[in-house]
Amino acid sequence: MISLVGLLLGLSAVASDTLPPPAASQSPAARAWHWVADDFEVLAATSGTVDFAGDLFGDRRFTDLPPGYRSDFKVWVDFFRWKGFISNWLIGNTTVASRFDSTAFQLSHIRYVLTPGYRYEFESWQISGLLLHECVHTVSRPEANGSVWWNSFQIGAGTKGAYHDHFVDSYRKAGAFPSLRLDGRLDFGQFLYGGRSVWIGQNHDFRQEVFGLARLRLGSVGPFGFFQDVEPHLWRASSGRIDQKWSLSTHMYLLGKNNIVGGYARWIPLDQNPHDNENGLGKIGFEIVF
């Protein structure tokens, strides 16, 4: 019995030696950083879309290339969370090809986005922004003054259902869309401008932009979920000119075991932006959502 008591006392002494010292006995410098470490979380979470669409009708008003095909890839990576603040990154690529009678297709341009982002989340809405770098490379045709690219700051706010990660996550958890639920967001962007520089941009005259999204979840039928998006986008040029783009789309999602597959129809009734160049286009496509 005496030996057993001695053994237990020895184990308790060893355990007490391995525990961290109480806060009162820690140095002031260590206690000062508790407010950071206690609320810090590494996320490493990804979400995104891959889609492919074919143009059904319309014309490209700024080039002599006919409509054809478009492929988009976007991925958002959440790096870390501190309290309600989340640091993330957006990587995107768009490839546009024209369709001719004599050939299968001809590449028109490639567009990429590479940008750090941030957001601060509340219960049902969030504030978000990007430090945006975007570039458009013309393909199959000469670029007289090089590619088009710009840097800008963007900030906006909206309900969580208007943002891809929350929208997809809620659909996965519920397995369906609620009927007639409306979400929206509104964003403002300020382009850097001045003399030609690696920090500014080239071959564009944009100064500010305002864009948004109105999303209506229509509901679900069996395993299929349906929603509609309306996306206005306005750019202000250095001359005061306002360019507009309006996009209307209807989507169908099918929730699989891990990811989502979907189809959509999109119509762009007005596009005055020469870099997007989708005025009057109607298209159908499919997408993989993760």
Domain with residue 82: its CATH number is: 2.40.160.40
Tell me if 6 is assigned to some domain: no
pLDDT under 70: residue ranges of the chain: 1-37, 60-61, 63-64, 101-104, 144, 196-198
Instruction: Report the phi/psi class of residue 74: left, alpha or beta, with left for phi > 0 and alpha for psi in -120 to 50.
Output: beta
Query: What is the predicted pLDDT for the residue at 106?
Result: 80
How many structural domains does the chain have?
Answer: 1
Tell me if 74 is assigned to some domain: yes
Query: What is the predicted pLDDT for the residue at 107?
Result: 82
Rg, Å, the chain Cα set: 25
What the block records as the tokens of 77 is: 């990576």
pLDDT digits (tens, 9 = 90+) for 202-229: 888 999 999 999 999 999 998 899 999 9
d(C-alpha 67, C-alpha 60), whole Å = 6
Tell me if 68 is assigned to some domain: yes
Query: What is the predicted pLDDT for the residue at 67?
Result: 81
**Tally of CB atoms within 10 A around 75:** 16
**Helices vs strands, H then E, count in the chain:** 4, 13
Q: Is the pTM of this model over 0.85?
A: no
Tell me if 13 is assigned to some domain: no
**What is the identity of the amino acid at 116?**
P
Q: What three-state secondary structure class fits 54?
A: strand
Q: Can you tell me which residue has the tokens 């004599």? A: 102
> Which structural domain, as residue segments, surrounds residue 30?
24-289
Give the distance from CA 76 to its chain's centroid: 6
Tell me if 41 is assigned to some domain: yes
d(C-alpha 116, C-alpha 114), whole Å = 7
Tell me if 188 is assigned to some domain: yes
Q: Work out the burial of residue 207: count CB atoms within 10 Å of its CB; fewer than 13 is exposed, 13-18 middle, 19 or more buried.
A: middle
- Residue 42 to residues 53, 74, 158, 245, Cα–Cα distance (Å): 36, 22, 24, 38
